[in-house]
Amino acid sequence: MSGDGNQITVVIVGSQKFMVLVIFRYETCTLLGYDMEVGLLVPLVLFLLQPLQHIEVVIIHDYTLPGVNKLVESFSERWAATTLLTATPAPDLSQLLVALTSFHTNDLRYMVLLCSANTTWTVFDMVSRHNLESKRVRWLVVTENLHLADSLRNILREGSMVGLAARVTSNMYKIFSSYVNHNNQMSFQEVGAWRGQNEDRRKGSLLRPLFPEIVNLYRDFQGRQLVTSAVDYWPFFELKVLENGTTIAWRGTDVHVINTLSSYLNFTYRVEVPADQMWGTVKKDGTVTGMVGEVANRRAHLALDEITITDSRETVVDFTDPYFFDTTSIVSRAPAEKNRSLAVFYPFTSLLWIIVILVTLLMGPLGYLFSRVHHQLTQTFDSTHNERSRNVGPSFDSGRIKWGSEPGLRGVEMFCFNMFRTIIIQGNLLPASSWPLRLVFFSWYAFCVILYAVYAGTLTSYLTRPSFEKPIDSLEDLLEARERGVVGALTTGTSIAKIFETASSGIFKAIYDVMDPSRSFYPTFMTAVESASINIDNIPNV
């Protein structure tokens, strides 16, 4: 496809896995002020990337290079994905963000930068200002400015791996690789050269890899002093302040870890305590606090102090593989001893007491109903007796109460009273003259015997040893204890606090919703414990 004046070329490159549309404008121009053979760029870039396989390539240029067409076609034959970005009149930040953050595969992405010195500097300035450095991105810069490396030292930051091919003659390039020197500054070292007079005499050599593997790059820090962010947190990282005000790592599990790493990897370190003395979290406005924030904002090289790996933290910093697995516990005051003046009620729970009372109240009407129904049936089917003697009242003989021969005719209150007598071990005064009524009494007696045994045994246990309030052994217990005035507390800025704060449902949200803003959030764990111990009347448990 062509247009007036300049030519616009559309090239579709692809493979079985990818299909990429590359659009660029081809202009007759010179590279940075002088003519350059179209065929020279392709073998140079291929030489620098030839050991690599299964990579994604992004070409960034500013229309100053008449060789991009052939370069894209050559790359499409070797790598699955090739994308072209333009940088005229200035680099597009949105395109750069997509190129540096969206990955189609787990392979590395190589950014081939074919621009003027000013445009190259602008691109890396964007990368630094927006924290776009990534361990999955490699930069290959081709330039004619031999001094470009000097200017890039001031803008590059650790995390950007840059290979630079600088033209020194019409057909010779010196090749440099970035590294961090012992003063923690980005620098370049010469690693090889490449000559391209003609096809028969093109050759190059690399004394060391242009892009070293991360594991090899950081195998030896060459005596660098690293800044470590930490807070005073025994038994993991206890700090000590010297007389001159310097904070040093004193003792603890993670202190042994960093001392071992320091010796093995050849570096020294100094400790910096974050201003908020917290582990750190990512806030809604994008700011990062605590130790995590110190690393994310590049004020520290690393943080080491029992830091929990969370999804939000992983968006701003890189974590090592976990080396310590911890559990989370609820700390509360020891349960108080129960008041023994109410010990007679302790054997049964409130629910069980209610059930016993209801059953006792129901057994009287049930016995009366059985007796009354049996009496009516007997009158209906006993045709031989038309009349029955009825004695509706008690007679007194020798001080004993005697009821008539027909208990079914007694009132329901008499049955209720005798059921109550039975449960308090006073005996039953109603005769059981029928089998249905005997069955009711037998069931009630059996229930009472079992109730006596359970109650007596449990009461004896309560009276012979101290009884305590129900402890808080789970999150459900903590939520239930809120009814007793227990106030839950969290250490702000920690991963546990983040779980409660961001919960949208479930037990975590339920607990967070009933927390008291004035008493539930503390800067440190010990502050919360001390507050619970001192304010006993105000905070029953924390």
**For residue range 250-279, what is the model confidence (pLDDT) as tens digits?**
999 999 999 999 999 999 999 999 998 889
Cα–Cα–Cα angle for 21, 26, 27, rounded to 5 degrees: 160
Strand partners, 162: 139
Is the pLDDT at 488 greater than 60, yes or no?
yes
Tokens representing residue 155 in the block: 């803008």
Predicted confidence (pLDDT) at residue 298 exceeds the cutoff of 50? yes
pLDDT digits (tens, 9 = 90+) for 333-350: 788 777 777 778 878 888
Q: What is the pLDDT of residue 540?
A: 38
Task: Give the chain's radius of gyration (CA, Å).
Answer: 43
**d(Cα 542, Cα 335) in Å, to the nearest integer?**
12
State how beta strands 109-114 and 56-61 pair.
parallel
On the question of pLDDT at 542 being above 50, the answer is no
Beta strand ranges found along 354-494 (DSSP E):
395-397, 400-402, 490-491
pLDDT at 102 over 80: no
User: How far is residue 254's CA from residue 230's CA, in Å, rounded to a whole number?
Assistant: 10
Q: What is the rounded average pLDDT of the residues 451-476? A: 83
Give CA angle at 214 (124, 321), nearest 5°. 115
Cβ(286)–Cβ(300) below 8 Å: no
Give yes or no for residue 63 having a pLDDT over 50: yes
Q: Tell me how far apart the alpha carbons of residues 487 and 542 are, in angstroms, rounded to a whole number.
A: 6
Cα–Cα distances in Å, from 463 out to 237, 261, 341, 344, 352?
48, 59, 10, 9, 20
**Distance from chain centroid for Cα 333:** 28
Query: What pLDDT is recorded for position 227?
Result: 96
Residue 9 pLDDT level (bands cut at 50, 70, 90): very low
Average pLDDT over every residue of 484-502: 83
The values of phi and psi at residue 165, to 5°, are -110, 110
pLDDT digits (tens, 9 = 90+) for 372-423: 777 777 766 554 444 444 444 444 344 443 434 444 456 788 888 888 888 8
